[in-house]
Amino acid sequence: MARTPKTKQIRAGTYRQFSYKDLKPNPQNPRRLFDKAPLKVLEESIRANGILVPLTVYKEERTGQHYILDGERRWRCAEAIQMDPKNSRRVRIPANVVDPPTPVANMLWMFNIHNLREQWELLPTALSLKVVMDELGETNDQKLSKLTQLSLPNVRRCKKLLSFPKKYREMMLDVDPSRRIKANFFIELHPVLAIYTSLPREIRCEKSRTQLIDHFLTLYKKGKIPSVIHFRRILEAYDYIEEEGRTDKEKEEKFLAAARELACSDDRTIRQLFDKLISEDRSLDNAEGLCKDFVKTMHKLRVEHVVKRGKLKRSLQAVKTFVDDLLARLEG
């Protein structure tokens, strides 16, 4: 059962000025990636004009240390300027000091700030979501979405990333953007792993889940998976073997042969092996036709005039939820 969040109110406080040495980053800040290029632009602005927007900080009662709730990028730039031997000016950091929050209030505050501004990388968001889940004992996707203001599809993406072992999370947090593996690689891989781990060991070339992840990473780095959305070809091919609720044995054999070759080879591509098993145009035509028929039929029914509309509204809400999630997945 989920615990009631202890979210001590963070009220407006006093205004002060600090040196960069007086402040420390928020240990709960989900934002862990600070790429140099965007920071450089902000740094040049601060060199010319100073920090125009005050930070938000709180004082930890036990140690007396001030931590940053909002404004770590500005603080990092101030630190870089102050450490520059060519700089002779002292950089003052304006800040509003607020009451120290509880851990959950701290995290939800951070979610709120960054939902209103630029988005975090997805893995830091996932790690922050885990803190909220652990602190509150909450795992329901819809409740987590409401708490954090993350979209429902993003809550589900975060949970997928949390299913990967630590060494893969570290790849997503590499400070060098050229070495960093994007979260979308693992999100698109996630359902493919579910398929592969359900197959007989000989089909997956005797590989464990971790070995399969390493294998697909190798293919990705070698350029054999030029786009992570190619993983969807495997899902389409897997669906292709089911026809009217029954498994087509001939199609299943073709799928298993392609799946085995992909798992055992470092030189084949997904499209080489799976494109021949599917007909994307037919699937798209069918989907587009169904969408057009649905809209056309609903127009004809003129249901907006009915009196008893409760069940219809619930059904349409279910359709909307499905369409929103599908659109998010199509965006990749």
Task: Give the pLDDT score at 115.
Answer: 57
Task: Give the pLDDT score at 39.
Answer: 75
In a domain? residue 263: yes
Of the candidates 216, 158, 220, the one whose C-alpha atom is nearest the C-alpha of residue 192 is: 216
- 257 shares a domain with 285: no
Question: What radius of gyration, in Å, describes the C-alpha atoms of the chain?
Answer: 25
- 192 shares a domain with 94: no
Q: Of 131, 162, 193, which closes a domain?
A: 162
Q: Of 114, 130, 162, which closes a domain?
A: 162
Q: Output the CA–CA distances (angstroms, integers) from residue 39 to 9, 49, 110, 134, in the order listed.
A: 31, 15, 19, 32
Task: Give the pLDDT score at 307.
Answer: 72
- 92 shares a domain with 44: yes
Which stretches does DSSP call E strand in the chain? Answer: 14-18, 23-24, 55-59, 66-70, 93-98, 242-243, 246-247
In a domain? residue 7: no
Cα torsion 231, 236, 238, 242 to 10°: value is: 170
- 237 shares a domain with 119: no
C-beta atoms surrounding 257 within 10 Å: 13
In a domain? residue 37: yes
Sign of CA dihedral 185, 186, 187, 191: positive
In a domain? residue 169: no
Side chain identity at residue 145, one-letter code: S
- Answer whether 25's CB lies under 8 Å from 68's CB: yes
- Answer whether 93's CB lies under 8 Å from 20's CB: yes
In a domain? residue 9: no
Instruction: Dump pLDDT digits (tens) for 84-143.
Output: 888 777 888 888 888 888 777 777 776 766 654 555 678 888 888 888 888 888 999 999
Structural domain boundaries, residue 300 = 281-331
**Residues of the chain scoring pLDDT < 50:** 7-10, 116, 281
- 126 shares a domain with 202: no
Instruction: Dump pLDDT digits (tens) for 289-321.
Output: 899 999 989 888 888 777 778 888 889 999 999
Task: Give the pLDDT score at 9.
Answer: 44
- Record the pTM: 0.63
Question: Residue 85's domain is classified under what CATH number?
Answer: 3.90.1530.10
Task: Give the pLDDT score at 116.
Answer: 47
Region of 58 on the Ramachandran plot (φ > 0 left; ψ -120 to 50 alpha; else beta): beta
- Answer whether 20's CB lies under 8 Å from 75's CB: yes
- 158 shares a domain with 38: yes
In a domain? residue 152: yes
Total tally of structural domains belonging to the chain: 3
Task: Give the pLDDT score at 124.
Answer: 80
Residue partners of 83: CB distance under 8 A and separation at least 6? none
Task: Give the pLDDT score at 123.
Answer: 85
- 270 shares a domain with 205: yes
- 146 shares a domain with 29: yes
In a domain? residue 175: no
- 152 shares a domain with 85: yes
In a domain? residue 237: yes
- 285 shares a domain with 273: no
- 267 shares a domain with 292: no
- Answer whether 20's CB lies under 8 Å from 91's CB: yes
Side chain identity at residue 84, one-letter code: D
- 210 shares a domain with 131: no
Q: Of 162, 194, 221, which closes a domain?
A: 162
Of the candidates 137, 95, 97, 109, the one whose C-alpha atom is nearest the C-alpha of residue 8 is: 109
